């Protein structure tokens, strides 16, 4: 047994080896040359406005940042129509997920979510010493009845990723509202809206109501809404996100956070990006058009695609997804095989720029051609 096994905490022992990509420099070099459609990043990057603000902030990095993120918190509060005490800024929304878990959970307590949801929930819950209970899905969507059944007296958190990663499916506002009304008082609902801007745009086009989540926060419900600058704003590498929720709960979370964890450059970038509507419009409009193009292309290859409300597609390729992803990587494209999510024949592919998506479809058609029967000439190729 290793030297530290008996010394480290039980959660650290139980967490196992995280699923991190190989970090040898050769592997990194190879990966940097791939068309990267595996992490739901923004293919257009940050806006010029955000870049300028970050560059301007670089000259002051000899000073520690504002630990309270006061200016950004006030801007976010007025942007969302909430008091600043109901806003908490963290180094990415995943940092707030961990804080909420460490604040609300302990050994003997649990959190409930769906199977096949955001992988960080299980890591954050286990690191806090709690247990994650995963309710079964129903046809690629959350089964909210099953989630309600899984809640017991020791449940403190329910996570709903809306839209869900990796399936891309969305719960409409009335459905979330009636779910919330049925949650017992000892449970905090974490509504993870990392893909908010994409979902809102899809919902507008589909003439459905995506989210009333901030109303629940305004009404004082036990709800924390998570948002991030990592997706539509294109700042994933900066690490900045935030939560909107009950002031008292966020104040407890603030006690648990690391000092100075949100850099001054990140605060400046977030401030500049917050209402950069031109950039966000370009990103979400490309996403809708390209999601349609990818859906047609993948269906033309004979694959089942789940309609998305986010910036990625969940697709059943009808064979071992790990092997499929490896062959795709040989053709120069990185996507995410979903074996770890209990979907061994499914992949998640980020919606990229038109050029990236064409490269992906071209690579996928080569891989599909090598997969034998069932392959059909792709519709995008037929159109040429």
Ligand X SMILES: Cc1ncc(COP(=O)(O)O)c(C=O)c1O
Look at residue 323 and give its three-state secondary structure.
helix
The distance of closest approach from Cβ of residue 38 to ligand X in the complex, given in angstroms and rounded to an integer, is 11
Q: Judging by beta carbons within 10 Å of its beta carbon (0-12, 13-18, 19+), is residue 237 exposed, middle or buried?
A: exposed
Instruction: Pick the closer one to ligand X by CB: 47 or 94.
Output: 94
Distance CA 128, CA 11 (A): 7
Nearer to ligand X, 38 or 295 (CB): 38
- For 11, counting Cβ atoms within 10 Å of its Cβ (0-12 exposed, 13-18 middle, 19+ buried), the class is middle
Write the DSSP symbol of residue 384.
-
**Least gap, CB of 228 to ligand X (angstroms):** 3
Q: Which two tokens stand for residue 95?
A: 């940092």
242 versus 380: smaller Cβ distance to ligand X: 242
CB 72 within 8 A of CB 270: yes
In the complex, least distance from residue 118 CB atom to ligand X, rounded to whole angstroms: 4
Nearer to ligand X by C-beta: 217 or 266?
266
* Residue ranges binding ligand X (CB under 6 A): 40, 92-94, 118, 161, 165, 192, 194, 228, 230, 236, 241
Which of the 8 DSSP states describes residue 230?
A: S
Instruction: Report, in Å, the least distance between residue 384 CB and ligand X.
Output: 34
Q: Cβ of residue 194: shortest distance to ligand X, in angstroms?
A: 4
Q: Least Å distance between CB 114 and ligand X?
A: 12
Q: Report the residue number whose CB is nearest to ligand X.
A: 92
Closer residue to ligand X, CB minimum distance, 118 or 380:
118
Please report where in the chains the tokens 């599909």 appear, as a residue: 368
Q: How many residues does the chain have?
A: 384
Q: Specify whether the CB–CB gap between 60 and 379 falls below 8 A.
A: no
Token readout for 323 is: 């092997």
Closer residue to ligand X (CB): 18 or 185: 18
Q: Which of 31, 78, 90, 47 is nearest to 257 (CA)?
A: 90
Q: Using CA atoms, how far apart are residues 236 and 72, in angstroms rounded to an integer? A: 17
Question: CB of 260: closest distance to ligand X in angstroms?
Answer: 18
Q: Which is nearer to ligand X, 86 or 164 (CB)?
A: 164
The distance of closest approach from Cβ of residue 3 to ligand X in the complex, given in angstroms and rounded to an integer, is 32
- Please, which residue, 99 or 161, has the CB nearer to ligand X? 161
Distance in Å, CB of 172 to ligand X, minimum:
17
Q: Measured between alpha carbons, how far is 113 from 198 in angstroms, rounded to an integer?
A: 22
Radius of gyration of the chain (CA): 21
Read off the tokens for 376: 């059909």
Question: Residue 227 — φ and ψ, nearest 5°?
Answer: -130, 160
Distances (CA, A) of 288 to 197, 199, 292, 308, 374: 11, 10, 6, 9, 28
User: Of 93 and 114, which CB lies nearer to ligand X in the complex structure?
Assistant: 93
Least CB distance to ligand X at residue 188 (A): 16
**Buried b / exposed e across 72-105, counting CB within 10 Å, b at 16+?**
bbebbbeebebebebbbbbbbbbbbbbbbbbbbb
Q: Which is nearer to ligand X, 128 or 161 (CB)?
A: 161
């Amino acid at each position: 047994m290793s030297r530290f096994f008996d010394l480290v905490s039980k959660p650290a022992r139980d967490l196992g080896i995280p699923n991190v990509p190989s970090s040898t420099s050769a592997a990194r070099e190879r990966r940097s040359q791939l068309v990267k459609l595996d992490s739901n990043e923004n293919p257009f990057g940050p806006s010029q406005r955000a870049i300028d603000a970050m560059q301007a902030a670089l000259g002051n990095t000899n000073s520690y940042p504002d630990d309270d993120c006061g200016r950004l918190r006030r801007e976010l509060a007025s942007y969302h129509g909430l008091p600043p005490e109901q806003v908490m800024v963290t180094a990415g929304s995943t940092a707030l997920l961990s804080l909420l878990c460490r604040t609300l959970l302990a050994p003997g307590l649990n959190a409930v979510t769906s199977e096949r949801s955001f992988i960080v929930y299980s890591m954050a819950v286990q690191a806090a010493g709690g247990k994650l209970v995963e309710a079964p899905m129903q046809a690629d969507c959350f089964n909210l009845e099953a989630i309600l059944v899984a809640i017991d007296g020791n449940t403190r958190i329910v996570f709903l990723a809306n839209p869900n990663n990796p399936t891309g499916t969305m719960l409409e506002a009335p459905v979330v509202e009636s779910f919330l009304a049925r949650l017992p008082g000892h449970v905090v609902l974490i509504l993870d809206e990392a893909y908010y801007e994409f979902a809102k745009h899809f919902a507008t086009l589909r003439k459905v109501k995506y989210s009333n989540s901030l109303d629940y926060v305004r009404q004082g419900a036990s709800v924390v809404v998570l948002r991030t600058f990592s997706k539509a704003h294109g700042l994933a590498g900066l690490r900045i996100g935030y939560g909107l929720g009950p002031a008292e709960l966020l104040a407890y979370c603030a006690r648990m956070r690391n000092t100075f964890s949100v850099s001054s450059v990140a605060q400046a970038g977030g401030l500049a990006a917050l209402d950069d509507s031109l950039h966000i419009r370009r990103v979400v409009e490309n996403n809708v058009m390209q999601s349609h193009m990818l859906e047609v292309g993948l269906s033309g290859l004979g694959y089942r695609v789940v309609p998305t409300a986010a910036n990625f597609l969940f697709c059943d390729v009808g064979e071992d997804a790990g092997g499929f992803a490896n062959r795709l990587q040989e053709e120069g494209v990185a996507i995410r095989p979903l074996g770890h999510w209990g979907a061994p024949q499914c992949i998640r592919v980020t919606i990229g720029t038109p050029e990236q998506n064409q490269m992906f479809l071209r690579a996928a058609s080569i891989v599909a051609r090598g997969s034998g029967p069932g392959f059909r000439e792709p519709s995008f190729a037929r159109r040429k």
